[in-house]
């Protein structure tokens, strides 16, 4: 099956969920630095890896359409031919998508509450509806966000792609493009992992990825990392910050996007500037210290309430899309704010 096929072209292989744009905008959520495994495979269609399967998603009016592709292991006689769409197991695939996009959380009511509390939020809300926080696999989220320090979205996406191709199980091939699962912890704990990652261009992050993978494998384990969903935010944050390469911003990203801590507010230098320039010049002091992280997070939690991290995601997305550079311009990492940069000093 070709990626360009529309839902109507193959109805038996596509399913849909009711999902109006006010509840979800794929183009905003999947391109704004929460996840790095999706690409716009054709206008309005997004293809990526979720739960060890390859999916294509498309929105049409008030419905979210999706199809799931067969695993290469499902057809030993394919002889390298591209994967075909598999008839989805409806109840299970619906559940996976509803969980991933947290569709049980009603977004319009939250937008109204945040707008009532914050005139600045109200100014951008109408132009950026449907921005919600994903619920990701904790291991994938953690190791991905270790790659984000002093980096920008396009470069992070390329790094994660190289990581998955080098260490992850191959799932299928679509239009000559191979797709791989995110690596397991065991795949990243070999003695040569750091050297291989450095050869792939990960730089100092190679040590942190291999070190954190090893620390989790030898300590909490993947299941223990998942279990942090059940502990208080402060405790989950403390456990994460003890891992190699995990500072306050990375820990808050994982708490918010993988561990059900909706109150977590990730603060990088960009969010720090938003807080100081648009809310109060007294916020966060003169540099992004641990105290500044806490102060800015507490400020936004007081302003927006228990889902402050979700409201921050809307403002971050709005600022990212409003500030995108013209086509052909170069992203900048490190010293300047490039398109979709995640700036944080190396630990």
What pLDDT does residue 330 have? 29
Token pair belonging to 13: 């292989």
Q: Which residues of 282-291 are buried (b: 16+ CB within 10 A; e: fewer)?
A: ebbeeebeee
Say if residue 82's pLDDT is above 60: no
What pLDDT does residue 84 have? 59
How many Cβ atoms are within 10 Å of 106's Cβ, its own excluded? Answer: 10
Global confidence as pTM: 0.88
Average pLDDT over residues 305-318: 96
The stretches of the chain forming alpha helices (DSSP H) are: 26-29, 90-100, 107-117, 119-125, 138-146, 153-167, 193-199, 205-218, 221-227, 233-241, 248-258, 269-274, 290-304, 308-322
Question: How far apart are the C-alpha atoms of 249 and 237, rounded to whole Å?
Answer: 10
Using alpha carbons, list the distances in angstroms from residue 244 to 198, 213, 277: 16, 9, 32
What pLDDT does residue 2 have? 47
Cβ atoms of 57 and 46 within 8 Å: the answer is yes
Domains of the chain, by residue range, sit at 7-98, 137-261, 264-323
Active site residues: 249
What pLDDT does residue 342 have? 55
pLDDT band at 286 (very low <50, low <70, confident <90, very high): confident
Tell me the backbone φ, ψ of residue 99, rounded to 5 degrees. -70, -45
User: Which of the pair, 286 or 6, is modelled with greater confidence?
Assistant: 286
Say if residue 93's pLDDT is above 80: yes
- 7-98 maps to CATH 3.30.310.40: yes
Identify the H or E element spanning 86. Answer: strand 85-86
Question: How far apart are the C-alpha atoms of 98 and 89, rounded to whole Å?
Answer: 14
Say if residue 19's pLDDT is above 70: yes
What pLDDT does residue 87 have? 57
Say if residue 79's pLDDT is above 50: no
What pLDDT does residue 3 have? 46
Q: Which of 139, 227, 181, 169 lies closest to 53 in space, CA to CA?
A: 181
Question: How far apart are the C-alpha atoms of 193 and 57, rounded to whole Å?
Answer: 33
User: Which of the pair, 152 or 64, is modelled with greater confidence?
Assistant: 64
**7-98 and 264-323: same fold?**
no
What pLDDT does residue 282 have? 86
Token pair belonging to 6: 């529309």
pLDDT band at 77 (very low <50, low <70, confident <90, very high): very low
Question: How far apart are the C-alpha atoms of 255 and 261, rounded to whole Å?
Answer: 5
pLDDT band at 70 (very low <50, low <70, confident <90, very high): confident
- 264-323 maps to CATH 1.20.1260.10: no
Question: How far apart are the C-alpha atoms of 266 and 344, rounded to whole Å?
Answer: 11
For the domain 137-261, what is the CATH code?
1.10.340.30
Q: Which of 4-13, 190-199, 307-316 has the lowest mean pLDDT?
A: 4-13
What pLDDT does residue 86 have? 57
pLDDT band at 72 (very low <50, low <70, confident <90, very high): low
Q: Which of 193, 228, 195 lies closest to 212 in space, CA to CA?
A: 193
Average pLDDT over residues 195-212: 97
């Amino acid at each position: 099956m070709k990626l360009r096929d529309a839902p109507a072209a193959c109805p038996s292989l596509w399913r849909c969920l009711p999902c109006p744009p006010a509840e979800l905008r794929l183009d905003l959520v999947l391109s704004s630095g929460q996840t790095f495994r999706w690409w716009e495979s054709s206008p309005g269609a997004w293809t990526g890896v979720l739960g060890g399967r390859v999916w294509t998603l498309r929105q049409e009016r008030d419905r979210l359409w999706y199809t799931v592709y067969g695993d290469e292991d499902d057809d030993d006689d394919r002889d390298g031919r591209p994967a075909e769409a598999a008839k989805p197991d409806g109840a299970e695939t619906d559940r996976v998508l509803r969980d991933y996009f947290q569709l049980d959380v009603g977004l319009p009511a939250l937008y109204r509450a945040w707008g009532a509390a914050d005139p600045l939020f109200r100014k951008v809300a109408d132009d950026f509806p449907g921005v919600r926080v994903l619920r990701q696999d904790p291991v994938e989220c953690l190791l991905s966000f270790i790659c984000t320090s002093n980096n920008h979205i396009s470069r992070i996406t390329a790094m994660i792609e190289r990581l998955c191709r080098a260490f992850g199980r191959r799932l299928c091939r679509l239009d000559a493009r191979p797709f791989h699962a995110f690596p397991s912890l065991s795949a990243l704990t070999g003695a040569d992992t750091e050297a291989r990652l450095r050869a792939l261009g990960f730089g100092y992050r190679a040590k942190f990825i291999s070190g954190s993978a090893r620390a989790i494998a030898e300590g909490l384990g993947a299941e223990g990392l998942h279990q942090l969903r059940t502990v208080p935010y402060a405790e989950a944050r403390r456990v994460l910050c003890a891992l190699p390469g995990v500072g306050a911003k990375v820990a808050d990203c994982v708490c918010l996007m993988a561990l059900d801590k909706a109150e977590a507010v990730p603060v990088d230098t960009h969010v720090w500037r938003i807080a100081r320039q648009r809310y109060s010049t007294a916020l966060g002091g003169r540099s992004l210290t641990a105290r500044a992280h806490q102060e800015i997070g507490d400020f936004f939690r007081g302003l927006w309430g228990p889902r402050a991290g979700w409201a921050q995601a809307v403002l971050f997305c709005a600022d990212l899309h409003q500030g995108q550079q013209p086509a052909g311009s170069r992203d900048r990492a490190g010293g300047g704010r490039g398109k979709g940069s995640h700036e944080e000093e190396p630990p």
